[in-house]
Structures are given as structure tokens and as C-alpha cells.
Amino acid sequence: MDTTITNRKTSSRKEWLAARTALLEREKEHTRMGDELAQQRRELPWLAVEKRYTLQSGNGPKTLAELFDGRSQLLIYHFMFGPSYEAGCPVNSSIADSFDGLIPHLNARDVTLIAVSGAPVEKLLAYRERMGWSFNWASSYKSDFNADLGFSSSPEQTREAIEPILEQLPAVAFRNAREAGSDIYGYLTELFGFTAFTLQDGAVYQTYSTTGRGVEFLMSYYGFLDRAPRGRDEDEGWQLWIRRHDEYDTE
């Protein structure tokens, strides 16, 4: 990796402080806008979940209501690990690395965080053990849950949707498919995303959902890199640098 940073302006400390103060005003504006967006998320109408879903977990079958684990709020990360995969997506794995540290703090605020994927639960639990995680990971295999929320599709549906745009897909999609032990069509039967639910008087409601760059709040390394001198430094290699935590070159 080239560690050289070139063509950067230098200044006196007085000039640097003036520039930093000007930037701080923009950062404060961004923070206030973030607060407003958070309020608007909370004000979204609730969508009643009328179908009774059952997912498989390490503790056996669980209804969606049971996955709240006695709390009133449930956050789900839709982790890309489909039925044809042999291992979890590397980028999704980098996201899940933070979950175990977050969960005690979320639990203290009446929030349960889990992951859901389309692969059979045995595959998910074996991969969880390999990665050293302990968060609850439920399988939507043979359930409509992930498909109904828009995060899973059949191989036939996926091929029909992907073939016309195959050449437009980013290189990381093909890399991730290979690393997951699948082809691009099997890989894209799963999509990543984040969904929030609440449980009120025994009824489950969906309150929020996002995908795409909407999940970057879960990718804490990007927040750090955005403040580093070189930034994300991805250029044309968007996300190709991301590996599973046990696969980075240690030389």
C-alpha cells in the first residue's frame, strides 16, 4: 500500500485554526441535520406485521415476537448469507464484528439486536463460531420473512433481475460472491439491510427499514477513515479492501 500523501496544502497554526473553525460550523450543521432526520425516522407511521413468521435460531424455532427477547424494540441486520453460500459475505462480516460490543448497551435501552439470513441455521451457527461472535442469528430459511421484507429472492427471480445489469455491478459483488462460495446469482439472492420493529400489546409493527448507504452507520470503520488523512482511499476499488477480520494480511 502506498502511504505517501502528496499535493497537500500546509499552513501556519493560525491559518489551520481558522480553517478548522470554519469546518466546525459545517460539522455542527451536519449534526443538527442528523438530529432532525432521527426525529423524522421516529415519526414514520408504523406498519402492522400481520403474518405470523417463525424463524430458526440456535435455541430452536422462534416467532418474530419471541425474537424481541422480552424487550419492546427489535433491530434486525439482514446479513447476506444465502442458502447457496458456504460462508458469510466479507463486507457483511465486517459489519457484524461490532454487534457483540453494542448489544449490552442496546439491551439497557430496551432494544434487542439480532441478525437474520436466508441460509439454514446450521450454516449460520457454524460461521458464527468461526468468527467468534455470540449475537443471536436467526434463519429465514423456508420462511417468507426475508423475502416479504425485500431482502431475499429466489434464484430465478434474482437471475431475471440481474442479467440485464450484470456488467454494471461493482467488482466487489463478484469478489464477495467468490469469497462466499457462490456465483453472482446465488450471492444476490440475499440483500443487506436494516429493519426496526416494535412490540406493543402483543402486536408487532415495522417502524423503519434501510439498505444501500443507509447501513453505513453500522460500518464504524468508515467514520474513523473519514477523519483520517487519506480518508476512505477506495477510488475504483470500492470496498475491495474489506476482508473478514481473520483474513487480513498480517505481514
CA distance 99 to 115: 9
For residue 235, what pLDDT is reported? 86
| Mean pLDDT of the residues in the chain | 96
What percent of the chain shows pLDDT beyond 90? 94
For residue 188, what pLDDT is reported? 98
149 confidence band (pLDDT: 50, 70, 90): very high
CA distance 180 to 178: 5
Res 6 pLDDT > 80: no
CA distance 42 to 49: 18
Res 165 pLDDT > 60: yes
Query: Can you give the three-state secondary structure of 146-170, one letter per residue?
Result: HHHCCCECCHHHHHHHHHHHHHHCC
What percent of the chain shows pLDDT beyond 70? 97
For residue 7, what pLDDT is reported? 73
Res 251 pLDDT > 60: no
Cell of 33: 441535520
Res 232 pLDDT > 70: yes
Res 140 pLDDT > 70: yes
The arrangement of secondary structure in 47-216, i.e. its CATH architecture, is: 3-Layer(aba) Sandwich (3.40)
CA distance 9 to 204: 55
Res 107 pLDDT > 70: yes
Query: Any idea where the domains of the chain sit in the sequence?
Result: 47-216
User: In sequence order, what are the residues at sequence separation of 6 or more whose Cβ sits closer than 8 angstroms to the Cβ of residue 215?
Assistant: 77, 95, 192, 193, 194
236 confidence band (pLDDT: 50, 70, 90): confident
User: In sequence order, what are the residues at sequence separation of 6 or more whose Cβ sits closer than 8 angstroms to the Cβ of residue 148?
Assistant: 51
Tell me what the mean pLDDT of segment 186-201 comes to. Answer: 98
Strands 60-63 and 54-57 turn out to be antiparallel
